């Protein structure tokens, strides 16, 4: 009777191992990527502003870019 009780925890562990192995193998892996947005930094407040615009003044502090 003790033998049957000893088998059950091993079976439960095997099921848990299978579940965890499946979760790890099927989890999508993400890679770091650049956003692709070029920015310029305001010399007054340090705010990042898009580089491909014709901004002459910082929207945050009013400092002139050019």
What confidence score (pLDDT) does residue 61 get?
Answer: 92
The answer to whether residue 2 scores a pLDDT higher than 60 is: no
Q: pLDDT tens-digit profile of 4-50?
A: 555 566 666 788 899 989 888 888 888 777 777 788 888 899 998 88
pLDDT band of 1, cuts 50, 70, 90: very low
Rounded to whole angstroms, what are the CA distances from 43 to 3, 22, 37, 54, 57? Answer: 75, 51, 19, 16, 11
Give the pTM: 0.40
């Amino acid at each position: 009777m003790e033998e049957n009780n000893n088998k059950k925890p091993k079976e439960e562990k095997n099921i848990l191992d299978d579940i965890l192995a499946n979760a790890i193998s099927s989890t999508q892996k993400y890679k770091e990527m650049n956003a692709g947005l070029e920015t310029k930094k305001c010399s007054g407040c340090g705010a990042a502003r898009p580089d491909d615009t014709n901004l002459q003044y910082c929207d945050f502090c009013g400092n002139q870019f050019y």
